[in-house]
Amino acid sequence: MKRIIILGGGFAGIYTATHLQKLFKNHRDQYEIVLVSRENYFTYQPMLSEVVAGSLGVFDSVSTLRSLLKKSTIYIREVSEIDLNERTVTLSPNFAHTDLRIEYDHLVIALGNVTDFRSSSGGLHEHALAFKTLKDAIKLRNHLIEVMESAAIESDPLIRKQLLTFVVGGGGFSGVEIVAEMNDLVRLFAKKYATINPSEIRVALIHKKDRLVDKELSPSLGRYAEKLLKKRGVEIYFNTELVSATPQEAILSDGKRIRTSTIVSTVPGNPNPLVEKLPLQMIHGRIQTDQFLNAIGHTNIWSLGDCSAVPIMNSDQICPPTAQFAVRQGKCLAHNIYATCTGVKHKPFEFKALGMMASLGHRKAIAELFGKIKLSGFIAWLLWRGVYWMKLPGLSRKIRVGFSWILDIIIPQEFVQIKTEVHNGITHLHYAKDEVIFRKGDVGDFLYIIVKGKVEILDPFKDKEIQIAVLGNGEYFGEMALLRQKKRSATVRCLEDTELLAIRKNDFTVLLTNFGNLKEEFIKTENDRIKKISSILEIGDIRDFPDDQSPPHSCHG
Amino acid sequence: MKRIIILGGGFAGIYTATHLQKLFKNHRDQYEIVLVSRENYFTYQPMLSEVVAGSLGVFDSVSTLRSLLKKSTIYIREVSEIDLNERTVTLSPNFAHTDLRIEYDHLVIALGNVTDFRSSSGGLHEHALAFKTLKDAIKLRNHLIEVMESAAIESDPLIRKQLLTFVVGGGGFSGVEIVAEMNDLVRLFAKKYATINPSEIRVALIHKKDRLVDKELSPSLGRYAEKLLKKRGVEIYFNTELVSATPQEAILSDGKRIRTSTIVSTVPGNPNPLVEKLPLQMIHGRIQTDQFLNAIGHTNIWSLGDCSAVPIMNSDQICPPTAQFAVRQGKCLAHNIYATCTGVKHKPFEFKALGMMASLGHRKAIAELFGKIKLSGFIAWLLWRGVYWMKLPGLSRKIRVGFSWILDIIIPQEFVQIKTEVHNGITHLHYAKDEVIFRKGDVGDFLYIIVKGKVEILDPFKDKEIQIAVLGNGEYFGEMALLRQKKRSATVRCLEDTELLAIRKNDFTVLLTNFGNLKEEFIKTENDRIKKISSILEIGDIRDFPDDQSPPHSCHG
């Protein structure tokens, strides 16, 4: 029995598996088709923004792999290693502690790219919300509901403004779709709150070029989208870029700072580290294939989708990383594996993009077909819904989405916030120069460790701020309020851009209880600190706190 | 303007607010009705088990507070303090670091009880799944899907058996409902997996009495439920109790151990700590009220629902903590606040329970009405659905649930697993005597700290196990594999029941990177360890490792 392993459960992997199932229908006793995926479902990305908007239910945009691929073996696991010499794939453990190694005869690599902010600097990783997976969609919707609920009862005008401002970075396809849906959602939402005036809401879109969807669509459609969004109240900033995010601000490349608690950003796609380190020929971290989708020089290694560089016939370009291409590549690749196994003729990959569509919410969309036909408004929206509905995998999925669309028309939306996410024990934070981390009198809820940067500890004493100390890399602050269950005894402000680790009160207590010497250290530094602060405040205004007197890790707060 | 604050968004809080809204309809400029809740939605608990079973969508069993209470001010926050002298309630901060204090003229305490395993010993808090809130339902459903997906590809027969065994502790109302739904779900589910034989599935219900629902319903209905569950393949253990849970076993009071990864337990209801410390007259941590629902001796403090002890008229008993009573108390309480404000006559609380119903899944239920009429089977199920559907708050909720029931009939169920939950930085674990925590050769994914208990470090060397060391409270193990990115170099087994903290690899790295001296300590002890292990293995079989030679925190793994 031979085994074909497909890595990845996106458009590329699913369509390859579907076609392989059909082709090998009469060879099931000879060939096992295996698909490995991290999630047990396939996400139909075109409809994700409707999940955020609430016109679709949480699960409407996904189908389980098992229901789509009834004749394949499905492994729901992380891939931890690919060994081309041994012809094996190793999967990470789940309930047990042992990993799983499976051998392959043919390997199809459809792992896509890694879309996260890890490579981004300036706090995007820490504070920007992504919009790519179902989890992102659920998280974003919950976050929007949370800020609205908080704003509804907030009396501090500065925090109110921060909560009611929403920033999206990137005016490409997904940026435009998500800003449209978000804008609709928060404005609809505001109507339900007697305490929120719709005019308080501010939605901003940041784009580095001078028109929207400049890469994907014609100028006229970009202008149409711009006009429509502006009419609905979205502010658009052209020729500038979102470069930094903090818990309270979005910072643009032109230096502009927007106070906000909600920053959504287009997620950069980076090469998948698993793929990148394979001994295969690569172009910018993507696996180079021939026109038959074979990795160069390997007849049993195949690759398609976002993680691969597939040449476009009769050109020196490679296929763009879109679902349209992945789906067609899957069909071609399945045929070529079948051809290799049975000796029929291989087919080269040939396909020309059909067009692009973007939904703009409120029954409006823009579309460009065959590079010529341009559509906008309601007609484009009908086309958008029609095409994507027809392409939904499986009849039951179509019925479910249909029902949800009907319900959305006849029933008012509800904004249920599910807080399933448990906060991490240790959170990474990024603050910009001049930002205040906390103020004297605030509730003490975190201990902070400075990973990189510099902060000053201030005491607002008799109408002026006395600088008690300056802290830098490796030093910590904020534990005083935690140890003594009190309010913050000082204000902390950043002297430069600062990366922090924040440890939540409960986890701090757990650490202290279980690492005896850690606790001693904290208490010792705290006592030293109290003595020093008292002496400073008696003397009056010593701006430079003598560094040599401070303990190895000085502490405040 | 006077303010009535209701604390709690369960049946008690919601119904009080609804009736207050009606009564004060013509006094809106004089009285503000405020409701404070942790979640922004009201959970309709009777239908939660249908969410687990999948016949209802995730949000079908909940309604947002805002849609239910259009004329009240809603605060979505945790209550951090109640001050009866100052007549204020303090709410915890959310996005800002400052807390919020609001004054009241009347205070309605409807905070329910605290239902968690924190007070339970023996690992229930760490490893048992609760079934009480919407979050619990989502978590349980996701967990069931996860173990099934893992079992489908597991080849180790012991782990396979562990994954396919499901244990429910408690054969009262909710235990019976959830075991019925779980049993249906996992058996339906197994049919979709070619690699799972339905006969491998084992579902067990543990009950300390000798018949089911003994507290709530007549013996004949208990026997009916028992027969029905047994027919569907549920094993029932009477006269024994679930006393302990570990990551791999359920341990019963008679010493029986069942290997399982899924333990669901009836959650003990404990007095709410916020309520408990109030200077009010209490009965077993519940606020004692008079027949008008006033806290004894306070004319502006009211209490109802699970957190209060309301006398039953003409008896010396107090009302049971059920929705039926909470709903009626809400109506009575609202009237009495209105009476206090306007001078009309107060009404005492009077109500007799109508009956009880429990769904058994698969269109079967049991019901007992007015203490006399007993129903079981399909008729009882129709009554169950009918009554609870009619009592759903709001027309749109009724339509939504109706649609879901229709979809459930015409469309096959999908088992989408949403892993929104990020694993905590630090996890608490409980292991029982003789259990193995990890084996030599396993993947190293956690560092373990012993909070309480004793473990032995073993090296399976030349066909026998050599005891390298015994570790106790405050000592740690498992960091060797983490520091060197290798597999486990020894096996660790519990010598007695042991409480552990587990720190995930990634978080361990973060801690090491940022606490310099912690890293030095780990590396030093690791080096000591390696030397000692080598010498032991050369000598052969030294069972008692000399304790005085080990560093303050000895370490292995």
Are residues B416 and A41 in contact, defined by beta-carbon separation less than 8 angstroms?
yes
Q: The complex's ipTM?
A: 0.83
pLDDT of residue B537: 62
Q: Give Dmax (Cα) for chain A.
A: 91
Residues of B in contact with A514 (CB under 8 A): 449, 451, 474, 501
- Residue B258 pLDDT > 90: yes
**The token pair that represents B219 in the structure block:** 């013996």
Q: Cα torsion for A10, A15, A20, A23, to the nearest 10°?
A: 170
Residues of A in contact with B261 (CB under 8 A): 95
Nearest chain A residue to B95, by CA = A150
pLDDT of residue B547: 35
Nearest alpha carbon to residue A52 among A147, A136, A115: A136
**The token pair that represents B381 in the structure block:** 């199920």
Nearest alpha carbon to residue B444 among B508, B511, B533: B508
Q: Which residues pair with B100 in a beta bridge?
A: B91
Residues of A in contact with B417 (CB under 8 A): 39-41, 76
Residues of B in contact with A156 (CB under 8 A): 96, 98
Q: Which 71-90 residues of chain B touch chain A by CB within 8 A?
A: 73-77
Residues of B in contact with A518 (CB under 8 A): 515, 518
Cross-chain Cβ contact B97/A443 below 8 Å: yes
Residues of A in contact with B66 (CB under 8 A): 192-193, 415
Of B261, B410, B420, the CB nearest to A421: B420
Nearest chain A residue to B54, by CA = A59
Residues of B in contact with A152 (CB under 8 A): 74
Query: DSSP assignment of A335-395, as one string?
Result: HHHHHHHH------------EEEEE-STT-EEEEETTTEEEEEHHHHHHHHHHHHHHSSSH
The one-letter amino acid code at A504 reads R
CB-based contacts of B165: which residues, under 8 Å, 6+ apart? B201, B202, B203, B204, B258, B259, B260, B261, B262
The count of other CB atoms within 10 Å of the CB of residue A3 is: 17
Cross-chain Cβ contact A59/B58 below 8 Å: yes
Mutate: best of B29, B34, B35, B40, partner A, most A CBs <10 A: B40
pLDDT along chain A (557 residues), means of 10: 95 96 93 94 89 85 89 92 95 83 96 78 85 88 91 90 96 92 91 87 95 90 94 96 92 94 86 90 93 95 95 89 92 96 94 86 88 89 91 87 87 75 69 90 85 90 82 84 78 92 77 67 74 64 36 37
- Find the DSSP H helices in B419-504: 479-484
Residues of A in contact with B414 (CB under 8 A): 41, 59, 63-64, 67, 396
Listed in order, strand segments (DSSP E) in A116-272 are 165-169, 202-206, 234-237, 242-245, 249-252, 257-259, 262-265, 269-270
Mutate: best of A63, A66, A260, A479, partner B, most B CBs <10 A: A66
Cross-chain Cβ contact A415/B64 below 8 Å: yes
A100 touching B (Cβ < 8 Å): yes
Condensed to tens digits (0 to 9), the pLDDT of residues B388-405 reads 999 888 888 898 899 888
B162 touching A (Cβ < 8 Å): yes
Cross-chain Cβ contact B501/A514 below 8 Å: yes
Q: Which of A219-223, A434-438, B379-383, B485-489 has the lowest mean pLDDT?
A: B485-489
For residues B276-291, average pLDDT? 93
Q: Name the residue with higher pLDDT: A288 or B131.
A: A288
Cross-chain Cβ contact B474/A516 below 8 Å: yes
Nearest chain B residue to A553, by CA = B515
CB-based contacts of B242: which residues, under 8 Å, 6+ apart? B124, B128, B167, B169, B170, B206, B250, B251, B252, B253, B263, B265
Query: Phi first, then psi: what are they for B400, rounded to 5°?
Result: -60, -45
Residues of A in contact with B39 (CB under 8 A): 417, 419
With pLDDT > 90 as the criterion, what percentage of chain B qualifies? 48
Condensed to tens digits (0 to 9), the pLDDT of residues B48-65 reads 888 888 888 888 888 899
Residue A291, min C-alpha distance to chain B (Å): 34
d(CA A451, CA A12): 40
pLDDT of residue A544: 37
Cross-chain Cβ contact A39/B417 below 8 Å: yes
pTM of the predicted model, to two decimals? 0.85
The length of chain A, given as a count of residues: 557
Of B97, B417, B418, the CB nearest to A442: B97
**The token pair that represents B256 in the structure block:** 């029986």
Nearest chain B residue to A504, by CA = B425
**The token pair that represents A120 in the structure block:** 């981004």
Cross-chain Cβ contact B98/A192 below 8 Å: no
DSSP three-state, residue B33: strand
Residues of A in contact with B502 (CB under 8 A): none
Cross-chain Cβ contact A511/B426 below 8 Å: yes
**The token pair that represents B471 in the structure block:** 């570790």
Condensed to tens digits (0 to 9), the pLDDT of residues B497-531 reads 998 888 887 777 777 766 666 677 777 777 777 77
Cross-chain Cβ contact A445/B516 below 8 Å: no
Beta pairing, strands B2-7 & B106-109: parallel
Q: Which 408-437 residues of chain B touch chain A by CB within 8 A?
A: 410-412, 414-422, 424-426
- Mean pLDDT, chain B, as a whole number? 86
The one-letter amino acid code at B145 reads I
Residues of B in contact with A442 (CB under 8 A): 93, 97-98
Residues of B in contact with A147 (CB under 8 A): 95
Are residues A507 and B426 in contact, defined by beta-carbon separation less than 8 angstroms?
yes
d(CA B71, CA A446): 37
Helix A395-410 and helix B395-410, axial crossing angle in degrees, nearest 10: 170
Q: Cα torsion for A472, A478, A480, A481, to the nearest 10°?
A: 170
Q: Which of A113-117, A428-432, B37-41, B348-352 has the lowest mean pLDDT?
A: A113-117
A383 touching B (Cβ < 8 Å): no
A102 touching B (Cβ < 8 Å): no
Cross-chain Cβ contact B514/A451 below 8 Å: yes
Cross-chain Cβ contact B138/A418 below 8 Å: yes
d(CA A51, CA A61): 7
Confidence of residue B543 (pLDDT cuts 50, 70, 90): very low
Residue A424, min C-alpha distance to chain B (Å): 5
Beta pairing, strands B476-477 & B446-452: antiparallel
Q: Which 205-224 residues of chain A touch chain B by CB within 8 A?
A: none
Q: Name the residue with higher pLDDT: B293 or B353.
A: B293
Confidence of residue B545 (pLDDT cuts 50, 70, 90): very low
- Residue B245 pLDDT > 80: yes
Angle ∠(A203,A206,A209) on CA atoms, nearest 5: 145
Size of interface A-B (CB pairs under 8 A): 209
